[in-house]
């Protein structure tokens, strides 16, 4: 087994671990198990193996263990790339981002343990989820990059992408990230059922006071709906102007499907009273959706870079 194949295998396992890290974080929030290990970190109740293991302790400690293991894999992957693949700038950037944000989210998670139940803690927890999402997306893109290049990096055709298109992709990704934070804030402020079972509006109110839990819930709903509209418009733009870029076409269609499923899962959360399984599905879909948008960013390049064509294979996404 050659080095490239071993690297791809490690990247796949690291991506799976990053997803589990995001999912476990969502479970911790949904089950309110954040204090399952008391006020100690990184161990649980000051012990490597706690004497008492209630459900909330098991959930919180499992999250820490999974995060620690995947953090080690990310470190190993980053060191491997920076020492053995020094000329692969994209791999170095993505692995560096993965390591930076997994460390940052771990540090932020440790800080939230000592906070009281205040808005500052809720905001920090929302940031924690956002950073874990960037970590997951970075590792997934790194894995995609390795599989794209398994037969070489030279494309067969040149498909130019306009600066306006690049800006649209990056702006959509940035806006998605903002909406993700509003969703995380809904979860961490216990605003999930702030409007009861009422949907799409909050009882008889269209826009409650934003300082209230109902206002936070409605802010997220309006943001999510506007995001669905933007993704639809983006897909139409790609289909009209970039049919030759099969990678962009497939990714834009997938993005619309995912954001639609995300909206459906959000409605199910409300109708079921905030049950755990719909919450897990909701977190999974938004994680994959953000990865798709990040993939689009990788494929089109940065809008602030030089205007140059992107080389990709005829088949689009993979070789």
Active site residues: 60
Question: How much helix, strand and coil, in percent to the nearest 5, is found in the chain?
Answer: 70, 5, 25
Half-sphere exposure of 64 (CA within 13 A, CB side): 24
Count CB atoms within 10 A of the CB of residue 277: 12
User: In what helix (H) or strand (E) does residue 157 lie, and over which residues does it extend?
Assistant: strand 157-159
Q: What is the C-alpha separation between 251 and 248, in angstroms, rounded?
A: 5
Half-sphere exposure of 81 (CA within 13 A, CB side): 27
Whether the Cβ atoms of residue 141 and residue 68 lie closer than 8 Å to each other? no
Sign of the CA dihedral 220, 221, 223, 227?
A: positive
Residue 39's alpha-carbon distances to 47, 59, 172, in angstroms, are 12, 15, 38
Q: What is the C-alpha separation between 158 and 75, in angstroms, rounded?
A: 35
Nearest of 154, 156, 137, 171 to residue 295 by alpha carbon: 137
């Amino acid at each position: 087994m050659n080095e490239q194949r071993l690297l791809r295998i490690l990247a796949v396992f690291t991506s799976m671990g990053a997803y589990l890290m995001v999912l476990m974080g969502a479970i911790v929030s949904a089950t309110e198990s954040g204090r399952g290990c008391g006020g100690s970190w990184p161990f649980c109740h000051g012990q490597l193996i706690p004497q008492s293991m209630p459900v909330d302790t098991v959930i919180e400690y499992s999250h820490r263990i999974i995060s620690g293991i995947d953090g080690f894999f990310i470190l190993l992957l980053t060191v491997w790339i920076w020492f053995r693949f020094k000329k692969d700038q994209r791999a170095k950037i993505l692995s560096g981002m993965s390591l930076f944000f997994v460390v940052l989210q771990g540090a932020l998670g440790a800080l939230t343990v000592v906070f009281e139940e205040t808005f500052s803690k809720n905001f920090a927890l929302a940031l924690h989820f956002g950073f874990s999402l960037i970590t997951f997306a970075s590792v997934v893109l790194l894995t995609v990059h390795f599989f794209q290049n398994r037969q070489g990096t030279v494309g067969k055709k040149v498909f130019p992408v306009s600066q306006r298109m690049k800006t649209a992709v990056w702006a959509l990704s940035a806006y998605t990230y903002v909406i993700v934070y509003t969703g995380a804030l809904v979860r961490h402020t216990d605003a999930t059922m702030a409007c009861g079972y009422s949907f799409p509006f909050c009882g008889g109110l269209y826009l409650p006071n934003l300082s209230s839990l109902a206002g936070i819930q409605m802010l997220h709903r309006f943001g999510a709906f506007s995001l669905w509209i933007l993704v639809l418009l983006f897909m139409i733009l790609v289909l009209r102007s970039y049919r030759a870029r099969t990678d962009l076409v497939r990714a834009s269609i997938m993005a619309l499907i995912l954001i639609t499923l995300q909206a459906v899962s959000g409605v199910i959360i409300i109708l079921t009273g905030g049950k755990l399984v719909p919450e897990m599905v909701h977190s999974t879909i938004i994680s994959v959706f953000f990865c798709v948008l990040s993939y689009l960013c990788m494929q089109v390049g940065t809008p602030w870079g030089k205007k140059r064509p992107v080389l990709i294979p005829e088949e689009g996404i993979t070789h």
